[in-house]
């Protein structure tokens, strides 16, 4: 079985270094831009401000073989399984974020609070489900 992923755009954030990134999404964090490649921009048709979306993106430069890790809140404790953490270090470093659209622009979206490096590759945008929205609101 094989898979081919196509980046549909890039995520623009204020974070240039991994050390500057927050450990998780911050709903009231800094403004971030989702910039789509021209051939994908028509796909924004129908999205609106204040709508919740699920963003899927790709973590670059991470360790892909760690199955046990210590999360940021687990200092001094026993390692935890990768699949129980939101860590970027995972076999397939796909990240997911549910965020509210601040504005829909011709070339992409404005959102707040993403937690990764400027220029991160965007894989997909989907309307968020009710369950994802409820989880997003409880963060």
> What CATH number is attached to the domain comprising 48?
2.40.30.70
The verdict on residue 2 lying in a domain is no
CA 14 to chain centre: 14
pLDDT over 60 at 136, yes or no: no
Per-residue burial over 2-17, b if 16 or more Cβ lie within 10 Å, else e, is eeeeeebbbbbbebee
Tell me, yes or no, whether 65 lies in a domain.
Answer: yes
109, 33 Cβ separation under 8 angstroms: yes
Confidence bin at 37 (pLDDT 50/70/90): very high
d(CA 22, CA 132): 21
20-33: per-residue pLDDT in tens? 888 778 888 999 99
Closest CA to 7 of 121, 120, 96: 121
Range of the domain at 52: 9-137
Tokens representing residue 8 in the block: 């549909």
The pLDDT of residue 70:
81
pLDDT of residue 71: 67
């Amino acid at each position: 079985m094989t898979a081919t992923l196509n980046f549909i755009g890039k995520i623009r954030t204020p974070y240039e270094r991994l050390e500057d990134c927050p450990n998780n999404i911050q709903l009231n964090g800094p403004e971030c831009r989702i910039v789509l490649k021209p051939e994908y921009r028509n796909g924004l048709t129908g999205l609106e401000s204040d709508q919740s979306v699920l963003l899927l993106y790709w973590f670059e430069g991470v360790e892909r073989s760690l199955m046990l890790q210590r999360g940021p809140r687990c200092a001094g404790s026993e390692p935890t399984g990768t699949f129980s953490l939101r860590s970027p270090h995972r076999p397939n470093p796909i990240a997911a974020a549910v965020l509210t659209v601040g504005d829909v622009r011709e070339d992409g979206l404005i959102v707040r609070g993403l937690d990764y490096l400027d220029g991160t590759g965007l894989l997909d945008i989907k309307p968020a489900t009710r369950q994802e929205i409820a989880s997003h609101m409880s963060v």
